[in-house]
Amino acid sequence: MATITFKKNPVHTAGSLPAKGAAAPDFKLVAGDLSEATLATFAGKKKILNIVPSLDTGVCQMSAKKFNAAVAGLKNIALINISADLPFAQKRFCESEKLANITNLSVFRSPEFGKAYGVVMTDGPLAGLMSRAVVVLDENNKVVHAEQVPEIAQEPNYDAALAAVK
């Protein structure tokens, strides 16, 4: 269990992020067309998992925009936004912001994702949603970077995540 904060108040997660060097847990999440996506969907690519509580919040939107811009010129990278938002809302946000470099995946049918990655908040006002975290995987799904953002209202360390995929 990790302890993070939401507006300086302690919040706990269901576990810890996968450790650097570990194999990433597989997942089965819902894509924009309501199909299911797994790690195999992105086989052979480096992956940035931008895990956020909801794209209806400013900080989550900012992280999506910044990562989208940062990966625009990079090759062989899948930027994957993961939240509990329904696929329709995720798509609407990305279309309105013209974010073309993101694959959105929803955990709405897969609560086990939050436990496997140690990011589901177990208490506090956002209990049940994912905490803000970034997990970067290499082409073989090994964790090369993992950041549990300590305060939900803060942005992740973009530079560290991007350095891990270059």
DSSP 29-41: EE-TTS-EE-GGG
Q: Which domains does the chain have, with CATH numbers?
A: 3-165 (3.40.30.10)
- Cβ-in-10-Å burial (0-12, 13-18, 19+) of 61 comes to middle
* Model pLDDT, residue 160: 97
* Model pLDDT, residue 21: 97
Given a contact cutoff of 8 angstroms between Cβ atoms, the answer to whether 134 and 159 are in contact is no
Count CA atoms within 13 Å of residue 147 on its CB side.
22
Handedness of CA 111, 112, 118, 122 (dihedral sign): positive
Cα gap 154→113, rounded to integer Å: 22
Percentage with pLDDT > 70 across the chain: 100
* Model pLDDT, residue 66: 97
* Model pLDDT, residue 73: 87
Map residue 66 onto helix, strand or coil: helix
Beta bridge partners of 29: 37
* Model pLDDT, residue 1: 79
Which stretches in the chain have pLDDT values below 50?
none
Cα gap 5→64, rounded to integer Å: 21
* Model pLDDT, residue 166: 85
Handedness of CA 86, 87, 89, 94 (dihedral sign): positive
Residues known to be catalytic: 60
- Cβ-in-10-Å burial (0-12, 13-18, 19+) of 96 comes to exposed
Our separate counts of H helices and E strands in the chain read 4, 9
* Model pLDDT, residue 17: 96
